[in-house]
Amino acid sequence: MNESDMTVLGDPRAGDRSGYRVLPGFGGTALFDADFHSFSFAPHFHDTLMIGLILEGEKRFSRGRSWHRVTRGGLSVVNPGDMHTGGVAVRGQRLRYRAVYPGPALLAESGLPPGADFGAAVVDDRTLEGHFARALDPDGSAAEAEEALLIALTDLGRRHGTGEARWSSASCGRSVSRAVDYIEAQLETSLRLEQIAAEAGIGPRHLLRGFRRTLGATPQQYVRQARVRRVCGLLRAGEGFAQAASAAGFADQAHMTRVFRSLLGMTPSAFLTAWRASLT
């Protein structure tokens, strides 16, 4: 990926940049390139597996309630639904990594369930390092990358997977599940904690405890993530930026962009550009 394709994050003087691209095969698989000196993500989660290959430096990240470090050649692994953060281990020391977010079709083809679960947050496996390096090489063709990804994910599951999914809305407590359903249906509203708890049929304190226990997040962290996910879907469907911001419950387009960047490391515009490029 060229430097001109990278999105500047945080303070431009810090040199934090990221890029986003989408492979067209298997229904679309997202790839993320990070070049950080000081940036760290706000707590967030993904609907799919995230695997990051460290190219330079050291990454410090949380997964659930645990903190981890991974260095050059290692893989950081975050399961679907795991609340996590991630960024430089030492401010001012360069961190470069590439991450892949395989879509459901690619996971299925590699023999992994949609909620693929890996017990280890850090995988140090030189064979897999080589597979993922070939798969995530920005100079390779999309066809070669998709083939290499299939090989890499199949081997990852065979060597390090546990098979069954640990998280889904259905596996949450009934009150948390009701709260999640309410949030998803009312994203365009203010979504105050008291109202969410009332709809779930429990008090705010118990709702907070339930969210932290089952999702590793607070209700408001979940709201932010759900709104960004809604924006992604609306932009892919052809909605304008301002309209998507309003429909997802953001105060305005600038608010949407700030939250989007803090969670995904890119602007909505960069996301949409990469998505469109994957369709051509």
- The number of domains in the chain is 2
Check residue 33 and give its pLDDT.
93
pLDDT of residue 148: 86
Q: Tell me which residue range forms the domain holding 91.
A: 3-160
pTM comes to 0.74
Domain boundary among 136, 160, 184: 160
Using an 8 Å Cβ cutoff, are 16 and 93 in contact? no
Specify the CATH number for the domain of residue 174. Answer: 1.10.10.60
Residues 75 and 85: their CA atoms lie apart, in Å, by 15
173 and 96 in one domain? no
Which residues, in sequence order, are CB contacts of 37 under 8 Å at separation 6+? 14, 15, 16, 88, 91, 92, 93, 94, 95
27 & 152 share domain: yes
Q: In the chain, which residues have pLDDT < 70? A: 1-7, 10-12, 115, 162-172, 280
